[in-house]
Amino acid sequence: MIKVVSFKICPFVQRVTALLEAKKIPYEIEYISLKDKPQWFLEISPHGQVPVLITENGQPLFESDAIVEYLEDAYPALAPDLSPEQRAVNRAWSYLASKNYLVQCSAQRSADKATLSERSQKLEKAFAAVEAVLEQGEGETPYFNSATIGMVDIAWLPLLHRAAIIEQRSCHDFLAGYPKVKAWQQTLLATGLAELSVSADFEQAFCDFYLSGETFLGGRSESCGDGRADQACSSGSCC
């Protein structure tokens, strides 16, 4: 069986597990500490990063871009009939998402409002670009550019899932001003893939790190009304 080496709140891992879940490919998962990486992991991960996926043949694969391309090639494709051009377009939009994972992590960890605003700028450029594309294709497909969930949707899922948790817990909306992206976020969340692709205690672990007393958003979570935000958490560890 496929094995995924993981760190609980890593968005790069979630992209991989979301694709495994979307394709209904069985897998097992092993969580490691990034502060104290086991030797066996260092031997199979050249840069010491998760995710690593060990194939059914025992071949370790690293780099989430390579891993998702492997899964799309080696198992029944989410989108089997794409031209080389369409595949390249999808790769490009997927890269735009994964290039912003750490941008979002860093924005979420901002200690004050000014830092949050500065760090959010790059992320907002990406959301603005997607907003424009979704606007052009308005109503044609429920997903990014397909009738069923595709590779671009999977790549953006970690960003949109995290934005939803942050909004619910702190009232800060990374997607304010991007109504098409927000509608797309709701479509993706309605698939259930967000929850399926993370551990049962993901949201608590995420909150412990990003809505801790050390972060600006954690401070907002204490004051957010209507019962949406209920706790400011202690510190944890992250990407």
Ligand X SMILES: N[C@@H](CCC(=O)N[C@@H](CS)C(=O)NCC(=O)O)C(=O)O
Binding interface with ligand X (CB under 6 A): 7, 10, 12, 34, 48-51, 63-65, 98, 239
Q: How far is the CB of 114 from ligand X (least distance, A)?
A: 25
- Residue 15 or residue 180: which is nearer to ligand X going by CB? 15
Say how far apart CA 49 and CA 172 lie, in whole Å. 30
Report helix, strand or coil for 130: helix
132-160: b (≥16 Cβ within 10 Å) or e: eebeeeeeeeebbbbeebbbbbbbbbbbb
- Residue 165 or residue 183: which is nearer to ligand X going by CB? 165
Q: Indicate the residue whose CB is closest to ligand X.
A: 239
Q: How far is the CB of 11 from ligand X (least distance, A)?
A: 6
- Residue 48 or residue 137: which is nearer to ligand X going by CB? 48
The residues, ordered by sequence, that sit 6+ positions from 50 with a Cβ below 8 Å of its Cβ are 5, 6, 7, 10, 12, 13, 32, 34
- Residue 54 or residue 224: which is nearer to ligand X going by CB? 54
Q: How far is the CB of 135 from ligand X (least distance, A)?
A: 29
Say how far apart CA 147 and CA 142 lie, in whole Å. 6
Q: How far is the CB of 51 from ligand X (least distance, A)?
A: 6
238 among known catalytic residues: no
Question: What residues act catalytically?
Answer: 10
